Amino acid sequence: MTTVRQLGPDDAERFKSLRLLAVETSPTSIWPSRDEEMAKPIEQVRQRIAGTLTQAVFGAFDGDALIGITGVRREPLAQVGHKATIWGVFVAPAYRGQGVARALLSAASHHAAENWRVVQLMLCVNAENLAAKRLYESQGFRTFGVEPRAMRVGERYYDEEHMCKPLI
């Protein structure tokens, strides 16, 4: 049975391993590159996933194995503190199609709404990633713009769709 919880510094090794799998298996969907992710010291990873007043990272687990991740962050500024950004959604290939990403999105959305009183969620998705776009649309996200050449992998550029979802 899959469980979802907020990650903390003790989860850094598992988080880094899953991020490396993400950039290896989905290089057009996850930043940074494998080399950049690999070069991050574990202390930096611990700080990255520690919960703060502006960021939370969630993990989905099958037993002790971390099988999915996502983060949510917001700016601390009054004028933009009403919205938060979902980032880094990834589910290990063997666990896709089982509702893991939905559970992660739900946890991140709930956290942002309840703890930060966020009224709108934002995210970006590779315009060619049809499965991810369908998932986000099924969760109420709508495209409001496209950034051309938002990412370059090798010699190829990819557009990103910017999506938002009102929470109230």
Query: In the chain, where are the structural domains located?
Result: 2-166
pLDDT of residue 56 exceeding 90, the answer is yes
Q: What is the pLDDT of residue 36?
A: 86
Closest CA to 96 of 71, 66, 72, 68: 68
CATH number of 2-166: 3.40.630.30
Q: Per-residue pLDDT averaged across 131-136, rounded?
A: 96
- Which helix H or strand E contains 131, and what residues bound it? helix 130-138
The model carries a pTM of: 0.94
Bridge-based pairing state of the strands 55-62 and 2-6: antiparallel
155 pLDDT exceeds 80? yes
